[in-house]
Amino acid sequence: MNRHRPHQSASKREKQTTLLPLINRLLLTLIFFGVLALVLMAFYPEWRKLSQMHRALQNDRNELTKLQKETTHRERELYLLQHDKEYLELIARDRLDLMKPNETIFRFSPPRGESQLNRSHP
């Protein structure tokens, strides 16, 4: 005769009933983290691209500000060259190394590392 003991059968059922919710929670947790990983993998490249675009935009804004300042400076210089004869004379004498009679010119060398281009802008 092949009979099962009722005590062993009840013990197996108790283990199964306590083990099943634990396995279900573990599987749900794994599924949740799997879906989360997929979502992150899908959006991370776009987030990275967005960050690069923000940095590029900031660099472009900085460059625009610099160019606007330079444009303002050049427009001012152009206006002075066109309308201020004294300024025009000063620039011409400076660039051609000319001087008026009885005039003494003092030239100071620029600080080390400063290029000659920077010196030519008033």
Q: pLDDT tens for residues 71-116?
A: 999 999 999 999 999 998 888 888 888 888 888 877 788 888 765 5
Q: Which residue has the higher pLDDT, 57 or 116?
A: 57
Structural domain boundaries, residue 70: 17-100
pLDDT confidence tier of residue 122, bands split at 50, 70 and 90 = very low
**This prediction's pTM:** 0.50
Angle between helices 6-83 and 85-96 (to 10 degrees): 100
Does residue 55 sit within a domain? yes
Does residue 30 sit within a domain? yes
Contact status, residue 110 vs residue 118, Cβ threshold 8 Å: yes
Residues counted in the chain? 122
Q: How many domains are there within the chain?
A: 1
Does residue 4 sit within a domain? no
Does residue 2 sit within a domain? no
Does residue 74 sit within a domain? yes
Cα torsion angle, 32, 38, 39, 41, sign: positive
Does residue 38 sit within a domain? yes
Does residue 33 sit within a domain? yes
Does residue 118 sit within a domain? no
